[in-house]
Amino acid sequence: MALLSIVLPSYNEEQNIANTTKVLSEMLEVAEIEYELIFVSDGSQDGTFSEIQKVAADNARIHGAEFSRNFGKESAIFAGLEMASGDAVVVMDCDLQHPPESVLEMWELWQEGAQVVEGVKRNRGKEKLGYKLSAGLFYKIMSKLIKMDMSASSDFKLLDRKVVEVLLILPERNTFFRALSFWTGFRQEKVYYEVQERQFGESKWSFFSLMKYAITNVTSFSTLPLQMVTVMGMVSILLSLILYVQTIIRYLMGMAVEGFTTVILLILIVGGLLMLSLGVIGHYIARIYEEVKARPKYIISKVTGNNRDREER
């Protein structure tokens, strides 16, 4: 019988672990699907891993790991993929905002031959206006920069074992899971869902964390910002040429050439473009620096359940 692995990245989700385990286990057992649940505590500051240990003690199908510190959701996802042994692997949020019943739809599509099943949001559910606006801005920026429609995308998806193995052999340390599933090019299907309300706790994402997440993922997946530096340089040169021609014409016509105001504006504009360009280039150099050091994506300090003895990836 085929095995379904469900990877559940968890950060300060102490209140959700037991309920999520109960809901998913009951649903999969009724559907007669062989399964395993893999919780990855991303350096949680509460009792998340203690709760994982409790549910793992009661159910041999539940496994867990705890990072030595917070390495980020991307690292937690890849740690879960590394630990998963299923023929198909679903990645979903621990708070059940990704509806469990959609997992059954994904499973059916996988059995019919789909190798990647994307969970696509119909709406964002009941979220605060500020969060909806910041999330909307985040996805618009991401879609433009990586040339993929990320507006309805999420980390909620099913991957065939072949796809998981491809992702795990990628050498880069800075990964963007949502985009990489598109990049692999395997046969894809979609499942549409509505975001559910959290029963416990609040979202860990803020406007600033989303923007930081966007910058990190764009520079790890796309070279478009570097190309934009060249475009800005060309625009700056074009504006300078226009101003140069205007100055020569005014001089030949015997008209006074305005000095300080124009020079100051030019210095400010060119200086701003230069600093922005250096910032973009510096960010890419930082990414290269991180890749060259080849430090592990994450460090596992504790494991629970029937896990293989792995402490670093």
- Dist CA 235 CA 224 (whole Å): 16
- Dist CA 311 CA 274 (whole Å): 44
pLDDT digits (tens, 9 = 90+) for 285-307: 887 887 888 788 899 999 987 65
CB 11 within 8 A of CB 95: no
pLDDT digits (tens, 9 = 90+) for 79-116: 999 999 999 999 999 988 899 999 999 999 999 999 99
User: Which CATH fold topology does 3-129+151-204+297-304 show?
Assistant: Spore Coat Polysaccharide Biosynthesis Protein SpsA; Chain A (3.90.550)
Residue 68 has a CB neighbour count (10 Å cut-off) of: 13
pLDDT > 50? residue 174: yes
Rounded to the nearest 5 percent, the helix, strand and coil shares of the chain are: 50, 15, 35
The residue ranking higher by pLDDT, 298 or 233, is 298
Handedness of CA 124, 129, 131, 137 (dihedral sign): positive
pLDDT > 70? residue 146: no
The mean pLDDT of 256-270, rounded to a whole number, is 66
* Domain residue extents for the chain: 3-129+151-204+297-304, 224-293
- Dist CA 246 CA 249 (whole Å): 5
Task: State the pTM of this model.
Answer: 0.74
CA-CA distances (angstroms) from residue 206 to 64, 77, 132?
27, 20, 10
Average pLDDT over the chain, rounded to an integer: 81
The mean pLDDT of 264-285, rounded to a whole number, is 78
pLDDT > 60? residue 124: no
Determine which of 29-38, 107-116, 209-218 has the lowest per-residue pLDDT on average.
209-218
Query: What pLDDT score does 32 carry?
Result: 93
The residue ranking higher by pLDDT, 164 or 223, is 164
Confidence of residue 17 (pLDDT cuts 50, 70, 90): very high
Token readout for 263 is 């020079």
Confidence of residue 308 (pLDDT cuts 50, 70, 90): very low
- Dist CA 139 CA 148 (whole Å): 10
Relative orientation angle of helices 129-146 and 224-252, to the nearest 10 degrees:
80
The residue ranking higher by pLDDT, 272 or 29, is 29
Query: What pLDDT score does 142 carry?
Result: 63
